[in-house]
Amino acid sequence: MLVDLFTVVIILICVYTFRHYVFTISRVFGRQRQPYSDVECADWPKITILIAAHNEEAVISDCIRALLEVDYPHDKLKIVPVNDRSTDRTGEIIDDWVARYPGRIHPFHRTGGKPGKAAALRDAMTFVEGSFFLVFDADYIPGRALIRELVSPFFDPEVGSVMGRVVPINVGKKLITRLLDLERSGGYQVDQQARMNLGLVPQYGGTVGGVRVSALEEIKGWTENTLAEDTDLTVRLLLAGWKTVYVNRAECYEEVPERWPVRVRQIMRWAKGHNQVMVRYSSALLRSRNLSFGERIDGALLLGVYAMAPVLLLGWLIAIALFYTGIEAWGGLAVLALAAFTTLGNFAAFYEIAAATRLDNSRERICLLPLTLLGFTVSVVSVSHAAWSQIWDSLRGAELNWQKTERTRVAPVALGR
Amino acid sequence: MIALPLIPSLTELRRRRDAAPLPTRSDDGKIDNFAQSLREYMEPLVNLDGEVTCPLRDGAQGRVLRMEDVPLLPGTPIETPIYAPHSLVFPVPVCLSRELYIRGSLTIAGGSMLRAALIEGEASLGERTSVLRWIHATGNLEAGPESQLFGRASAAGAITLRHGCTFERVQAQAVYFGTQGKLAYENSPVWPGSSLVDLRLGRVRSNGDFYLRDSDAFQGDIVAIGCVRIEDNVLVIGSVKARTNVEIGSGTHLEGTIVSRGRTTIGARCYVKGPVLSEHEITIGPGTQIGTPACPTTVSAPHIRVAPGAVVCGAVWARESGQVTP
């Protein structure tokens, strides 16, 4: 029984290892798919930009200012800051911008309703005009060309959502921010783009992204009782025959956590949300006739990515148990096999990060690669804890609580553009 | 010994040589950004009073060129940045290996080579002229037969690419291929109103091929896992997406976009609102118009082949090769 379980763990690890290596090779050597990046002239559609803001007084001004300066027809762009039950000066700051730019900014001051970003976005949908809307978190700072880059894929009638690339702006603050910067690079520059290259399943990330209104209506809108509304949306769109497109050039600055407890809470939320979606939709995904074989498999693997952490921990425990029980044919080999895959094999994720830094033309930050093991360890433990607590909470019937990520910016940032 | 592999990491943590945020795109991607940069670069020459040369900000010695200074020996290389305060005519082929800025029109003999040029007027390039990086005209731009336009070619007016021209990125109010004709449509012939995507026409999704016959009419978006074949004289109000190829017959009007992961072939005398995007090749038949001056659009693919008589209003971007077929 233990040996069988261990075999399953090893196979799963091998599958993910293979997946990440394939992604890296595709990104470095394969044909890069960016079919919508050349759209320079077009009959640009009307869009609405939703800025999700809950107690964002430190950062909201930078976001609004950047959006006012984007290169998109002003008469086709509506900016809607969603002030979701803020108790700080967020509402006041938004109203100040409205007074300075009447007609361009249309605030939504949400004073009640279910907490959480998904619920706030659902309520904000009544403010959406046009066929598409983009979502930004309040700490994001879009560049001038970003909106056109995110809207271009929507000329493709198969595209239901679009995702850009987030780039940490507070990189140099601490060790944690430098590690997260590397992790983001790997995740976007390699992982997302590779999935785009291979016609698999890029993921809508909930920010620096956009959604087609008719696609959202077709899948009956946002799911409220979810911690990962972005993953939930990606999968439901996919099942309904809509594609998510990743646009690597659509880069936007964001703020990453600067404290480990904040990072732990963030990743636990992501893990729980992902696992929720996995439980809800994996079966439908694997059986869907609307999807190619690759999309089905990659979609399932995408949903299972946070479940791999507790699987890995379980594998370590089993390996140790097999070693001490002296079971034949595995025994010491078990520990060795798992250690090998955990380092060299699972090193595939670090391989992605290394490839990403090369593609970003970074030089010295690659030296920090060994230290990402620290972040990886924290993630494995946090995600495993999230998985176990989620199982326990579901057995108790406890409600999921959405927690906001803490901001650390204290003043508007000067980007020197 | 154990800590030895961590020395580079700890050194970088301490020295922070690469701790700044990755640079993100800050420009607006406009094709005439190069032209604006050149104006700024050439400003010292523009402001010269009486002198003929002066150093520019990169140390190059820029030169003011007047008509009387134009070389008459074919193949004369000019290796300095050039500014001309008036129109210039190069009657013999020249090789300009640095930037050229003319405050007037430019006529250049066939067989010439330009690196980069900004013309504040009309530009006429003789046959087999090569532009290596970019050229921008604030008037019209005409490239003679067999010319090679590498990089970007743009004009505030119209661009005419004669037969055999090769190009990469071209952008103008109207880009005529082969001959400068008359636009069939100044505005969309069927739907001159607001963006069709705002109308939410609904979509048809096919798990195989999708086919429209002669003189059919269809309203809505089409998404096909296979290919899309539209025959002659069809009216489509909506966009088309095919995971493989798109084939459009002659005389078809398509009020929407065409997106294909394979090849796109558009027949003769068609009208397509655009954009037209393909991940392999786009072939455009004679007499076809894509986009209008009121609503310019984009045609983009790694390879683009355009028959003489076609016109695109907006941008044409051939990532690997673009050609006006003979």
The whole-number pLDDT of residue B75 equals: 72
SS (H, E, C) B94-146: EEEEEEEEECCCEEECCCCEEEEEEECCCEEECCCCEEEEEEEECCCEEECCC
Q: Higher model confidence: residue B64 or residue A158?
A: A158
A41 interfaces chain B, CB cutoff of 8 Å: yes
Number of H helices, E strands in chain A: 15, 8
Residue B159: strand pairing partners:
B141, B175
What mean pLDDT is predicted for residues A67-72? 92
A32, A33, A39: which to substitute to probe chain B, counting the most B Cβ within 10 Å?
Answer: A39
Mean pLDDT confidence for A252-265 = 90
CA distance A71 to chain B (A): 7
3-state secondary structure (DSSP) of residue A398 = coil
Separation of alpha carbons A316 and A314, rounded Å: 5
Backbone angles phi and psi of B228, in degrees to 5: -115, 125
Quick: pLDDT tens for A362-372.
Answer: 888 889 988 88
pTM over 0.95: no
- Distance between CA atoms of A102 and A107, rounded to whole angstroms? 11
Partners of B195 on chain A (C-beta within 8 Å) are: 43-46
Nearest-angstrom CA–CA distance, B153 and B140: 11
A:269-288 residues touching chain B, CB 8 A cutoff: none
B277/A155 Cβ within 8 A = yes
Q: What is the pLDDT of residue A416?
A: 38
Non-local (6+) Cβ contacts of B82 within 8 A are B62, B63, B64, B65, B96, B98, B99, B100, B101
Residue A410 has pLDDT above 60, yes or no: no
Residues 97-116, chain B: which have Cβ within 8 Å of A? none
> What count of residues does chain A have?
417
CA B205, chain centre distance (Å)? 32
Q: What is the DSSP letter of B292?
A: B
Looking at chain A from residue 202 to 261, which residues have their Cβ under 8 Å from any Cβ of chain B?
213-214, 241, 249, 251-253
ipTM (interface pTM): 0.90
Nearest to B197 among A45, A185, A251 (CB): A45
Q: What is the pLDDT of residue B2?
A: 73
Lowest mean pLDDT among A162-176, A327-341, B25-39: A327-341
pLDDT of residue A219: 93
Fold of A47-263: Spore Coat Polysaccharide Biosynthesis Protein SpsA; Chain A (3.90.550)
Q: How far is A414 from chain B (nearest CA, A)?
A: 13
Choose the closest CB to A171 out of B19, B28, B259: B19
User: Would the pLDDT of A342 be above 50?
Assistant: yes
pLDDT exceeds cutoff 90 at A417:
no
Q: Is A362 on the interface with B (CB under 8 A)?
A: yes
- Considering only A11-15, A94-98, B167-171, B298-302, which range has the smallest mean pLDDT? A11-15
B265 touches chain A (CB under 8 A): no
pLDDT of the residue at B161: 97
- pLDDT at residue A9 is higher than 90: no
Provide the residue ranges of all domains of chain A, joining segments of one domain with +: 2-28+303-394, 47-263
Locate the chain A residue with the closest alpha carbon to B318.
Answer: A38
Query: What residues of chain B score a pLDDT lower than 70?
Result: 26-29, 73, 189-200
A154 at B interface, C-beta within 8 A: yes
pLDDT for position A337: 64
Residue A413's identity, in one-letter code, is V
A195-226 pLDDT, tens digit each = 999 999 999 988 899 999 999 999 998 887 77
Cα of first residue to Cα of last residue in chain A, in angstroms, is 61
What gap in Å lies between CA B220 and CA B238, rounded to an integer?
Answer: 5
Omega within 30 of 0 (cis) for the link into B275: yes
Q: Which of B6, B24, B228, B276 to mutate to test the interface with A (most CBs of A within 10 A)?
A: B24
Provide the token pair at B50.
């009486």
